[in-house]
Structures are given as structure tokens and as C-alpha cells.
């Protein structure tokens, strides 16, 4: 069975907020990334590949993010991040993301957007730039788009 989406729940913690108890914008990106990592775990794929005999390993850096903040979140709010694959390219994935505040009887959309991640080969020396590579077939066989 191919997977095209994943969701993860969070509770806003105090250290994720400013002095007004409103979530700092950078934490939305942490939650999105944690949801993406949970997606990788669900399909049994590494987020960061082991280094090979040439000291090269794979990873998925972000190439672009475009989000719109619709409403603030506050300390102790219950949150759900919905991540879905919008498009698969030869070396990258474009994700659609929505974040909801979960109320006792409803859900409220607080962020929506998209971002892309590129499958790359890294060198362990830290000197060379990542090199985009085709998404491995074993990975492609586990995912699909939501279209």
C-alpha cells in the first residue's frame, strides 16, 4: 500500500511561545518537520541515510517553503499537522501542509501552505555542497500523491 499523507498531534508547550503565550512562528516549522519525519518512519525510510564507503549519505533539505499564517496558536492549544504529497518530481517532493487547532467540538485552520524537499547526496567532509539525486525506486514504491 502506498502512502500519500501523514498527520501528527502536538500540544503547545510554554517554551514554544513568546511573553504573550502566542506560538513563535519558528515552531510551526519544527512541527512540520517532525510530521515529515514521522511520515518517513511510517514508510520505513531513513530521513538521513547512512554514509557509504565514499563517505556519502542521503538527506532531504528544504528547497522552498511558502506558508500563510491564518490565526495564532497559544500555550496549551491542541494542534494537528496534516502533511500530504502534492507532487513527486525526479529528485524532489512537493508537500501540502495544513495546521489545525483542535477544539472540543471543532477544528480551526491556522496555517496552510506548501514546501519542497530535494533528495540529496551529502559528503561527510562538510566541505562540498549537497548534490540533487533521483529519488530511489524503493522510496517511490512506498509513496503516492494525493491527487
Q: What are 26-48's pLDDT values in tens digits?
A: 999 999 999 999 999 999 998 88
Domain that holds residue 94: 5-140
User: Is residue 145, in this structure, part of any structural domain at all?
Assistant: no
Residue 147: its pLDDT value, please? Answer: 64
> Against a cut of 0.75, is the pTM above it?
yes
Element (H, E) at 88: strand 78-88
User: Is the predicted pLDDT of residue 1 greater than 80, yes or no?
Assistant: no
Query: Residues 50-81: pLDDT tens digits?
Result: 777 777 788 999 999 999 999 999 999 999 99
User: Is residue 71, in this structure, part of any structural domain at all?
Assistant: yes
- Give the count of domains, the chain: 1
User: Is residue 102, in this structure, part of any structural domain at all?
Assistant: yes
User: Is residue 147, in this structure, part of any structural domain at all?
Assistant: no
Residue 95: closest CA among 46, 43, 33, 48: 33
User: Is residue 146, in this structure, part of any structural domain at all?
Assistant: no
Do the Cβ atoms of 131 and 120 come closer than 8 Å? yes
**Residue % of the chain over a pLDDT of 90:** 77
Question: What is the pLDDT of the chain when averaged over all its residues?
Answer: 92
User: Is residue 92, in this structure, part of any structural domain at all?
Assistant: yes
User: Is residue 103, in this structure, part of any structural domain at all?
Assistant: yes
User: Is residue 32, in this structure, part of any structural domain at all?
Assistant: yes
- Check which CATH number belongs to the domain holding 26 and give it: 3.10.129.10
Amino acid at each position: 500500500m502506498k502512502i500519500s499523507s501523514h498527520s501528527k498531534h502536538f500540544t503547545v508547550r510554554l517554551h514554544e511561545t513568546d511573553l504573550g503565550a502566542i506560538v513563535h512562528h519558528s515552531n510551526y516549522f519544527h512541527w512540520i518537520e517532525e510530521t515529515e519525519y514521522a511520515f518517513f518512519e511510517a514508510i520505513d525510510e531513513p530521513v538521513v541515510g547512512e554514509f557509504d564507503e565514499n563517505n556519502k549519505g542521503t538527506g532531504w533539505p528544504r528547497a522552498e517553503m511558502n506558508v500563510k499564517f491564518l490565526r495564532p496558536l497559544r500555550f496549551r492549544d491542541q494542534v494537528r499537522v496534516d502533511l500530504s504529497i502534492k507532487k513527486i518530481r525526479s529528485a524532489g517532493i512537493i508537500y501540502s501542509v495544513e495546521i489545525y487547532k483542535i477544539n472540543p467540538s471543532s477544528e480551526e485552520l491556522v496555517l496552510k501552505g506548501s514546501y519542497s524537499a530535494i533528495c540529496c547526496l551529502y559528503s561527510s567532509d562538510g566541505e562540498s555542497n549537497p548534490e540533487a539525486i533521483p529519488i530511489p525506486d524503493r522510496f517511490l514504491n512506498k509513496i503516492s500523491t494525493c491527487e
